[in-house]
Amino acid sequence: MAGERQADCLFCKIVAGEVPATVLRETDTTVAFRDINPQAPTHVLVIPKVHYPDAASLAAAEPAIAADILRESAEVAALERTVDSGYRIVFNTGSGAGQTVFHAHAHVLGGRGLNWPPG
């Protein structure tokens, strides 16, 4: 069935508590935890508990959970006090865009100047 846990998925293992993570927030549908290789003072990943390979497939199948990801990203930005200075939500989609973990996730980045266009 769509959205089911994948045995070989790192982020499904984090959802299940089988791989440790520094969790900031958890809801019925999402988990937010610090990226292990931070690219900014605030670098948090917000993931759905269900497994979809990327943000677009999540939004197509479970639009309410895709909206939860955006709401939780804003909660993380508030928790990290990056709302006033600005923050960025990134969904790398496809290996050509730098996606390495194929379980949908938002990167929430902040706490430093963020250049545009991105690299």
Note the residues at the interface with ligand AMP (CB under 6 A): 10, 19, 21, 35-37, 45, 92, 98-101
How many CA within 13 A on the CB side of residue 41? 13
Minimum distance, C-beta of residue 74 to ligand AMP, in the bound complex (Å): 19
Burial (Cβ within 10 Å: 0-12, 13-18, ≥19) of residue 92: middle
Closest to Zn ion by CB, 74 or 101: 101
12 interacts with Zn ion by CB under 5 A: yes
Q: Which of 88, 53, 52 is nearest to 73 (CA)?
A: 88
9 interacts with Zn ion by CB under 5 A: yes
Q: Is 107 a catalytic residue?
A: no
> Among ligand AMP, Zn ion, none, what binds residue 79 when CB lies within 5 to 8 Å by partner kind?
none
- Measured CA distances, 43 to 14, 34, 63 (Å): 17, 6, 24
11 interacts with Zn ion by CB under 5 A: yes
> Among Zn ion, ligand AMP, none, what binds residue 12 when CB lies within 5 to 8 Å by partner kind?
Zn ion
CA separation for the pair 63, 76 (Å, rounded): 20
Closest to Zn ion by CB, 43 or 105: 105
Burial 63-76 (b: 16+ CB within 10 A, else e): eebbebbeebbebb
Minimum distance, C-beta of residue 6 to Zn ion, in the bound complex (Å): 5
Catalytic residues: 105
